[in-house]
Amino acid sequence: MKKIDIGDGAAIPSPDDKQLLSAWWIAFVGTIALLIALPIYDPDTYGAVLAFIPDGIQVTFEVTILSIALALIIGLITGLGRISENRIFNLLASLYVEVVRGIPLLVQLFYIYFALGRIVQVPDIVAAVIAMSFCYGAYMGEVFRAGIMSIDFGQSEAALAQGFNKAQTMRYVILPQAWRTILPPVGNEFIALLKDTSLVSILAVADILRRGREYAASSFDYFETYTIIALVYLLITLILSKLLAHMEQRLNYYEKR
């Protein structure tokens, strides 16, 4: 039975799916057109919102990049733990995956910032990065585990026969090949994480949504504000999904050579 693999990231426009590719172009052109036309049509509201949020976009990318970098490290350790023959390491990694994936990200954000904040006070953006990376590290762990398991066992046997130990085999033989396999799902998780950064606005982190909420609270232009916010998120997601599709095509091209 063929497994259905549906992630929570963006829909990746593939040349094999003409309708999805056409939909991507319509959404992309339409989003840019609206972001240009609306501020021209009403510069005092739409234009003002667009001018108010650039620093929020920067903060959003900072949180996303820092979180995904830390999540990759956590995910690698977790993935290795999930396939480890050490029963304690395996159990701890498996327990981490089960617990973290069973708790909503919003609850984890509240817990790290407010509950643990009574013990250790950390800056808003640090708490956001810790919560995001801790949550997504569990998902990355499963991505790494699947990528490592996808490499033929004969590769390990050949490396061991050449005199490599298990650590060297994993570092020099298995992981480089697994990385090419897991790169697309990692990119998808990157996009999903970027969208989920909207949740960090509850921690007073001045991301895109937080800046939009601040503007709307002072101007009461809620419709105009959240229209621009939605369009900015959509444009960023569309661009990243296209870059991810291009990356997957290049990987497929090199694999076929």
pLDDT at residue 159 in the model: 77
Alpha helix positions (H), the chain: 18-41, 48-52, 54-83, 87-101, 105-110, 124-149, 153-161, 166-169, 175-196, 208-219, 222-256
Low-confidence ranges of the chain (pLDDT < 50): 1-5
Among 130, 148, 104, which Cα is nearest to 8's? 104
pLDDT of 81 reads: 92
pTM of the entire structure?
Answer: 0.84
The pLDDT of residue 16: 64
The per-residue pLDDT for range 92-109, each reduced to its tens digit, is: 999 999 999 899 988 988
Residue 253 has a pLDDT of 58
* All structural domains of the chain with their residue ranges: 44-256
Q: Which CATH class is domain 44-256?
A: mainly alpha
The pLDDT value given to residue 99: 93
Given the structure tokens 């291009």, which residue do they identify? 246
Contacts of 224 (CB under 8 A, 6+ apart): 38, 42, 45, 46, 49
